[in-house]
Structure 1
Amino acid sequence: MARMTAPSTGQEHGAQQPHRAGFACFVGRPNAGKSTLTNALVGTKVAITSNRPQTTRHSVRGIVHRPEAQLVLVDTPGYHRPRTLLGERLNDEVRATWAEVDVIGFCIPANEKIGPGDRYIGNELASLKRTPKVAVVTKTDLVDREALTGQLIAVDQLGKELGIEWAEIVPVSAQKGEQVELLADLLIPMLPEGPELYPGGELTDEPEQVMIAELIREAALEGVRDELPHSIAVVVEEMEAREDRPADKPLTDIRANLFIERSSQKGIIIGPKGARLKEIGMKSRKHIEALLGTPVYLDIHVKVAKDWQRDPKQLRRLGF
């Protein structure tokens, strides 16, 4: 029987406790709040977020440091019934991650009824007998107490139906920071004993160029038509410090290509007189400068890679 746990006081973490370090991953159908939860736990932006499904395309490791533990979070793409070769490869990435982590957090939004997508994932998780599973009911700030109680009961029932014994059922609001620390408190005891896996200052092991590409794609996702998000890919082609700058005024030059699948989509991204592309550059540059700690000159080019989601050669070229 899954149980609800009162918030931790922190008194149980003493100097005598063995240090723990290991990997946890959040899984769930697209747009279940996995990336927002990862960012909230780490305390900074390591995964891009969007209200569009299937935003995440790479497994991003965010690292939570505590004196007694190091929790490495693997944020996977949303697991779904694939319609394209890209979708199949994203699912393969998720399954490979499940097989390697120490604990799995199954994210189910509080504001949406449990549906076929949740059961599809749950059936897959039920086959992983040895890995502890925590049900994380996300987006609790979007529902009232009565609706949340109903969803917690439904999640408990889902586990019984699928043969999953939840180690915990935890309601959280990543947007408001509610019960986020509690979730970390509950995940850490499920990790193996051992030394740190990453140096103390690291928050992610994602390469800078990949993170920059993702930040540009996040900015491009905002406000576009429903059919466009899945058609966008970004590759950073060049990134280097400008040579003629004084040491106290550095500037990083970044050239990136933003790929879409059809020529007709180009106008959507560029916008009237280039206004939309300029907005994408301004929004992403702010986050990139925060990431790198230096001013940035960002040059984005929009290119067509016809039907790249279904083309094995183009998928490899774009990093999938």
Structure 2
Amino acid sequence: MNAPAVPPELDGPHRSGFASFVGRPNAGKSTLTNALVGTKVAITSNRPQTTRHTIRGIVHRPEAQLVLVDTPGLHKPRTLLGERLNDVVRTTWSEVDVIGFCLPADQKLGPGDRFIAGELAELRKTPKVAVVTKTDLVDSRALAEQLLAVDQMGKRLGIEWAEVVPVSAVASQQVDLLRDLLTAMLPEGPPLYPDGELTDEPEQVMVAELIREAALEGVRDELPHSIAVVVEEMLPRPDRPAEKPLLDIHANVFIERPSQKGIVIGPKGQRLKQVGVKSRQQIEALLGTPVYLDLHVKVAKDWQRDPKQLRKLGF
């Protein structure tokens, strides 16, 4: 009896390592992370600067393990929070094996992109892949122009792109190709995380992020940067039978000024109720258990500029 043939992709050393997606705010980094992992590990929003924590999504392949580090968008900081987020980005860049620079296909390259590219040019040794995102939003001519512009920007700054890849995470176009390219650049090594683990982000942090994502939807432009969520308690309800568990989650939504409270709560509390319903559905899907969610809105005056408040809120 003949031994089964070894698939070509398994006939070689196992690779494992870290890749980081960078780019200006709202360049599609979180959506791309979720598409590559195959499930939601990073919150997404059409608001810039949605991501505040470095979330690791883990892609398991028979021949490789790719750990995706999703950083906040690098931006010109206006607050202490902004400065700390930029520090997180730069520290992450120095520690990963490959960097994916996300540039949206539907927006011309601007000062923000050139600023980040200039910073990346300083990192001589780390391989860099230019990822042109949101290709489903443009026609083939506009895409070709963007690909050329990205290539030329790299040449001007002395960046040698390992690859320039157009992708659409929403339409699942070329996501698998990007995954293959990134894993091929990783060093040889054993898996870094157990099989089946999709993120190393603590559950409490992910729950807080899902609540914040729901709270960001449909609010005024100035509000997203003012919202922080802290999960105070996550405990199984003690008097429930094993076959009917219920997880009690108590969380506070913090804003900076009393005037913002009404925006988050809404008329007769309707908006906060919607936030609770939407985030509870996402949390139950994440944790695989029914949840009772208790939300309260509190004012933490000017927390983005206050070192003490930032520490208290987990930054």
The aligned amino acid for 1:31 is N
Aligned to 1:234: 229
Kept in 2: contact 1:174–1:180 (CA 8 A):
yes
Distance apart, 1:13 and its partner CA: 4.1
Q: Are residue 217 (structure 1) and residue 226 (structure 2) matched?
A: no
Given the alignment of the two structures, is residue 246 of structure 1 paired with residue 241 of structure 2, yes or no? yes
The question of 1:77 aligning with 2:93 is answered no
Tell me whether 1:261 sits opposite 2:256 in the alignment: yes
| Residue 204 of structure 1: aligned partner | 199
Alignment match, 1:133: 128
C-alpha distance in 2 between matches for 1:240 and 1:13: 47
* 1:225 aligned counterpart, secondary structure: coil
2:104 paired residue number = 109
Whether 1:191 and 2:186 are equivalent positions in the alignment is: yes
Residue 17 of structure 1 and its aligned partner are, at CA, apart by 1.0
- Identify if the C-alpha distance between structure 1 residues 28 and 125 changes in structure 2 by more than 3 Å, giving closer, same or farther: same
Matched to 1:290, the amino acid is: A
Q: Alpha carbons of 1:226 and 1:42: their partners in 2 closer, same or farther (altered >3 Å)? A: same
In structure 1, how many angstroms separate the alpha carbons of the residues matched to 2:10 and 2:231? 45
By how many angstroms is 1:201 displaced? 1.0
User: Residue 60 of structure 1: CA displacement?
Assistant: 0.2
Match of residue 171 from structure 1: 166
Pairwise CA distance, 1:16:
2.1
Query: TM-score, with normalisation over the residues of structure 1?
Result: 0.96
Q: TM-score, normalised by structure 2?
A: 0.97
- The residue type paired with residue 67 of structure 1 is P
Structure 1 residue aligned with 2:118: 123
Task: Report the Cα distance in structure 2 between the residues aligned to 1:245 and 1:12, rounded to whole angstroms.
Answer: 49
d(CA) in 1 for partners of 2:249 and 2:75?
34
Q: Which runs of 5 or more structure 1 residues have no equivalent in the other structure?
A: 1-10
| Partner residue in 1 for 2:3 | none
Superposition pairs of residues 255-294 of structure 1, within 5 angstroms:
255-294=250-289
Query: What is the deviation of 1:12?
Result: 8.4
Secondary structure at the residue paired with 2:9? coil
In the other structure, the counterpart of 1:159 is 154
Identity of aligned residues (%): 80
Please tell me whether residue 57 in structure 1 is matched to residue 52 in structure 2: yes
Aligned to 1:3: none
- Aligned residue pairs total 310
Q: What is the RMSD of the two structures over their aligned residues, measured on CA atoms?
A: 0.9
Letter in structure 1 aligned against 2:271: R
**1:132-191 alpha-carbon deviations (Å, 9 max, x no partner):** 000000000000000000000000001001110000000000001110000001011110
Aligned residue in 1 for 2:10: 15
CA distance in 1: counterparts of 2:140 and 2:97, whole angstroms: 32
Extract unaligned runs of 5+ from structure 2: 1-5
Helix, strand or coil at the partner of 2:262: helix
